[in-house]
Amino acid sequence: MRMVSAPGAMPVNAGRFAHPAWRMLIIAFLAQNCAIGMNFGIYGTIVAALEANYQTSRALAASGLAVMTMVMGLLSPVAGELVRRYSIRTLMIAGTLVNAVGYVLLAFAPSIEVVLLIYGAVIGPGVCLLGVIPSSSLVSNWFLAGKGRALGFVNMPVFVAIFPLLTALVLERFGLVGVFLMAAAISLLLVLALVMVVSSPGERGLKRYGESEGEAEAQNAGADAEGPVLTGRQINASRSFQVIWLGIGLLTAGGVMMTTHIVPLALDKGLELPAASLLLSSFGVCAAAGALLFGWLADRIGGQKAIVVQAFTWTLPWAALLLLGASAAPLIIVAGLLGLISGAIVGLCGVVVSAWLGSQNFAAAMGYVYFYKVPFLFGAAPLAGYLYDRTGGYDLPVIIHIATFVFVGLMFAFFRPRKIGDAVSS
């Protein structure tokens, strides 16, 4: 006899991948990649075209993503609160429509100043409503078992690898107008998937993936099964949250420094530009695999221990940079290892936030984490450049980052959080 679960839930013996959580996972993956992956994949390919089209400096032409990222960080706490109060589907659809409008405006922008204004005032808010916070929150709402792998999958930067080639083809035939209109069309097509978003299983009387029947019934009945909903002030005052944003900020600084300086570092060692560029490609491809690998690890040993492993393991390829010379193959392998471990940061952040603060506080806490990450995002690369100018090499910035990774590993190894809500995979 076939057993069934509570009304509206999936049959107990239904196929593993028949659960609606998997559909939400795919939609969140597409949303995150359209928000972040597509933007980063496109922009790096069009910098030279922007410089030539608007007769501007390379510095201004390359500033669009920096402006967008800064606005995203500043608005992240607002986005987190919106996700707690309103439908994720509505916010995501609003975000992709805002992006579509922004891309159309970019297609006909008369100057580089207007381009940067659009990236800050339109694309930045749109990405904030579509990207990391709502996408990761959607996954956190739907997954209990396997949350680490799910968050890792959502944050795989696949479009970063796809869109440079696609953008180059469109740019060659149709110019910047064609590139931006392509992005607008893709944003509009995404709406077809976003209309299927269900913010949480409770809206449909369902259970989260991996959740027991008793937990699902309590959730659907409105019981406070996950602990209290914290205010923004309470989240910021939490010692657990402070450890998260400091640790994730320092790890993020390492990733930003490396993606910005890995090619100049290789050139400084004596590699030619084509070979040096392969290091960045190796870094990017392996980062996608790292998101899944460390998501799996977090599901096995818990997010806190996974961050300890990530931080200490990351010191090894960084240290190898101090020892290797102008040999392309070893440097490409090391770059891949750097990317593999770097790709874990966003997913592990989500796992630890959910485990320590509870799914009910996930969106708001993630928003504040991204707000506090702004100085790390914008300070890491210039600081490395400044130290390079002062010392004539990259050894000092590399050593500083290794020290920060050791600090993060020790901090997470010895910290004992007071967990609020569901302790995922721990």
Mean pLDDT by 10 residues, the chain (426 residues): 40 59 93 90 81 84 82 90 92 96 96 94 94 90 86 85 83 93 96 94 82 49 57 90 95 86 83 79 84 90 94 96 87 92 90 88 90 86 84 91 97 86 38
DSSP 360: G
Cα 368 to the center of its chain, rounded Å:
14
192-234 pLDDT per residue, tens:
999 999 988 888 888 888 876 544 444 433 333 457 888 888 9
Nearest to 264 by CA among 356, 152, 373, 381: 381
pTM for the predicted model, two decimal places: 0.79
Q: Are 205 and 6 in contact (CB under 8 A)?
A: yes
Q: Are 206 and 122 in contact (CB under 8 A)?
A: no
Domain 19-219: which topology?
Growth Hormone; Chain: A; (1.20.1250)
Second-level CATH architecture of 232-414: Up-down Bundle (1.20)
Percent of the chain having pLDDT more than 70?
91
Q: Are 424 and 139 in contact (CB under 8 A)?
A: no
Backbone angles phi, psi at 42, to 5 degrees: -75, -45
Q: Strand, helix or coil at 390?
A: helix
Q: Based on the number of CB atoms within 10 Å of its own CB, is 383 exposed (0-12), middle (13-18) or buried (19 or more)?
A: middle
Q: Mark residue 230 as left, alpha or beta (left: phi above 0; alpha: psi -120 to 50; beta: remaining).
A: beta
Look up residue 125 and give its two tokens: 């808010």
Can you give the pLDDT at residue 102? Answer: 97
Same fold, 19-219 and 232-414: yes
Can you give the pLDDT at residue 225? Answer: 42
Neighbours of 26 (CB within 10 A): 13
50-93 pLDDT per residue, tens:
888 999 887 788 778 888 888 988 999 999 999 988 999 999 99
Nearest to 138 by CA among 357, 369, 354, 289: 354
Q: Are 318 and 405 in contact (CB under 8 A)?
A: yes
Can you give the pLDDT at residue 256? Answer: 83
Query: Could you tell me the residue ranges of all domains in the chain?
Result: 19-219, 232-414
The residues, any chain, with a CB within 8 Å of residue 118's CB and separated by 6 or more, are 102, 105, 106, 109
Residue position matching structure tokens 């690898």: 161
365-403 pLDDT per residue, tens:
999 998 999 888 878 878 888 888 888 888 999 999 999
